[in-house]
Amino acid sequence: MFVLLAVTTLALQQPVADTSPFRALTLPTPTRVRSSGGAPGPEYWQQEASYTIRATLDTGPSLLTGTETIHYINHSPDALAFVWVQIEQNIFSKASITYQLNQPPLHFAGGAVFDFTGKGFIGGITIDHFASGGNELVRTEYGTMMRVELPAPLAPGAAIDFDVAWRFPVPPYGGGRMGRIGNRLYEFGQWYPRLVVYDDVNGWNPLPYIGAGEFYLEYGDYDVTLTLPAGYLVAATGTVQNPTEVWSPTIRQRIEQATTATERVQVVTKAEATANGAHPAAGTKSWHLTATNVRDFAWAASPEFRWDASGWNGIQINTFYRPTAAPWEEANRMARFTIQHFSETWATYPWPHATTVEGLIEGMEYPMLTFVPSIAKREDQFWVLMHEFGHQWFPMIVGSDERRYPWMDEGFNTFIDYGAAEGYFKGTAYGDTVRRELLTAFRVSAIPGNEQPLITKPVEQRDLAWGAYQKPALMLTVLRDQVLGRETFERAMREYVRRWKFKHPQPADFFRTFANVSGRDLDWFWREWVFTTARLDQAADSVRAVGSDSTYVFLSNRAQMVLPLTLQLRFADGTNETRLLPVEMWYLEDRFTARFATPKPVVAVVVDPTASLPDMNRANNRWGR
């Protein structure tokens, strides 16, 4: 007895790992900054960076020269001895990781190509001056990042102004997210030195700009003056402050008309754009723009823009395009539908205008402004135009860390995009089936051994289209349709947007918001979809009639992923019935006996009868005839 007891005690002391798929997810400990319920805590803080920029574009050598004042407020509880600054034009310098690796372009389905090397273009930014209070600051460049020593530690609550002067040659066609076509069209993103985010999770976030990972940026206000040849029209983040100096009376009158127009008003017609492009105007013009509470500023300019505008809910909807871009005749209608759809579904668009520019960039988003190519196929044109506008919600309104978590940016956006595509093409074969692309993508892309968890950093992802875009969209579709139901899902998603609007959420904030708002433990779901590459194989093993009024259906879960199970019962009399079994069916083991009280003989059962799940083996989903 004594011996036996000793053995038992020893056995009890051996640590046994909890391998249940339902074990708790390990999340960072909640703080006063990020609460256990997923909302910003009572001591939530984030830094503030506001910019006053004056830049001049010389279209001869295509050189952009600027001066900039950065007003930086330290809302953190820490004294900062130095700051990190992003100088992303250096992606085109020989010192950049991108140049050293000479990495091949990123290819996406549909033929979009992002060549971040600029097809071998050597450029980069020259910082002529980086000072504070008249004193030049010590700085060290590391490719696209620069560390700047402060004259004295910046105390919590204190602010500092940096005075910067810089210049760079504008990369030609192929520059990934920005660039130009000769001197006929310029699209500017990542163009001025910007403060790196300092947050409560990582401190500074100076992850290099390599290409695939986009941007994690502070919110602030912008006051920007752009000087360029007089014949160029500018489209930009922000509101034009000197309309009488930059727009003709005719343009101003048409813009006014567009404010309440449900269909496009042609602010600059095709004939006018063509004529403008053929006759360069002499001299230069300065455009003064301001923007409030945005995380970046982008702009585009061309002497031959067509410009359509309409209005929705006080928001000016603008589409700028070259006379050659025939598919863009419909772009304004697409843009207006998109802004309305996302506003009504997720959160009201918060800025005075939503503008998209047709050109060389295959698709890129900045606050209030997107860059989109002209695409012949109508569905694809809508998709890219709408997708880039979807980014106004993720990550322009909800400012997550794109350089680490593309699934919270591209992924959430791709999910909401399917709703917009279903709406715009409602009643067509495309509109009614477009979401099923996600299951096709699963079959093509979820290759065991190659697939990586969603949490993988974008620059480490072998299949970014799947890992950053489609899989997260499939994940949220499954969560909405199979786990939570539409109403509960949308309530949680809207609450996440409301809580983190103009803030910096982390993955745990998203998980905790969903758990708290939906009232459901979803740790198992996030583990499967975000942190692992678990696969699904639900199976119908057999069916047995028990007595005269019961049927037992024997089901099994043959792979790692657990999900609720939808079961269709087919009866001898030709009728059928569908039951949704909750995920708790897999609590005890990976086999489950579903018992149904029914006097009607069951002749067949089908698991996932609508084929809505990424089940890796559908051959075992059916029992009977």
| DSSP-based three-state secondary structure for 158 | coil
The smaller minimum CB distance to Zn ion, of residues 55 and 339, is found at 339
| CA pair distance 58, 188, nearest whole angstrom | 14
The smaller minimum CB distance to Zn ion, of residues 109 and 611, is found at 109
The smaller minimum CB distance to Zn ion, of residues 410 and 463, is found at 410
Tokens of 215: 């941007």
| CA pair distance 406, 550, nearest whole angstrom | 49
Write phi, then psi, for 198 (nearest 5 degrees): -110, 120
Q: Are strands 48-58 and 220-229 parallel, antiparallel or unpaired?
A: parallel
Smallest gap from residue 92 Cβ to Zn ion (A) = 22
The sheet with strand 284-294 has its strands ordered as 135-136, 126-132, 159-169, 63-73, 48-58, 220-229, 284-294, 239-240
409-428 positions binding Zn ion, by CB under 5 A: 410
591-610 positions binding Zn ion, by CB under 5 A: none
Smallest gap from residue 532 Cβ to Zn ion (A) = 24
The smaller minimum CB distance to Zn ion, of residues 410 and 451, is found at 410
The smaller minimum CB distance to Zn ion, of residues 200 and 410, is found at 410
CA angle 438, 444, 445 (to 5 degrees): 80
For residue 395, cis peptide bond before it (omega within 30 degrees of 0): yes
Interface mask (CB under 5 A) for Zn ion, residues 149-168, using x and -?
A: --------------------
What residues contact 580, with CB distance under 8 A and at least 6 apart?
482, 564, 565, 566, 567
Smallest gap from residue 521 Cβ to Zn ion (A) = 31
The smaller minimum CB distance to Zn ion, of residues 145 and 369, is found at 369
Smallest gap from residue 122 Cβ to Zn ion (A) = 28
Smallest gap from residue 527 Cβ to Zn ion (A) = 26
| DSSP-based three-state secondary structure for 121 | coil
Per DSSP, the residues of 339-356 read HHHHHHHT----SSEEEE
Residue spans of alpha helices (H) in 553-616: none
Interface mask (CB under 5 A) for Zn ion, residues 259-298, using x and -?
A: ----------------------------------------
Instruction: With residue 264 as reference, give the H or E element that holds it.
Output: none
The three-state DSSP-derived secondary structure of 479-538 is: HHHHHHCHHHHHHHHHHHHHHHCCCCCCHHHHHHHHHHHHCCCCHHHHHHHHHCCCCECE
353-412 positions binding Zn ion, by CB under 5 A: 410
Smallest gap from residue 410 Cβ to Zn ion (A) = 5
538-557 positions binding Zn ion, by CB under 5 A: none
Tokens of 463: 């299949």
The smaller minimum CB distance to Zn ion, of residues 226 and 468, is found at 468
114-143 positions binding Zn ion, by CB under 5 A: none
Smallest gap from residue 433 Cβ to Zn ion (A) = 22
The residue of the chain with the least Cβ separation from Zn ion equals: 410
The smaller minimum CB distance to Zn ion, of residues 217 and 224, is found at 217
Closest C-alpha among 259, 73, 239, 67 to residue 159: 73
The smaller minimum CB distance to Zn ion, of residues 163 and 410, is found at 410
Smallest gap from residue 332 Cβ to Zn ion (A) = 21
468-497 positions binding Zn ion, by CB under 5 A: none
Smallest gap from residue 302 Cβ to Zn ion (A) = 23
Number of other residues whose CB lies within 10 A of the CB of residue 249: 8
Smallest gap from residue 354 Cβ to Zn ion (A) = 16
Contacts with Zn ion by CB under 5 A: the residue count is 1
The smaller minimum CB distance to Zn ion, of residues 308 and 388, is found at 388
Q: What residue ranges bind Zn ion (CB under 5 A)?
A: 410
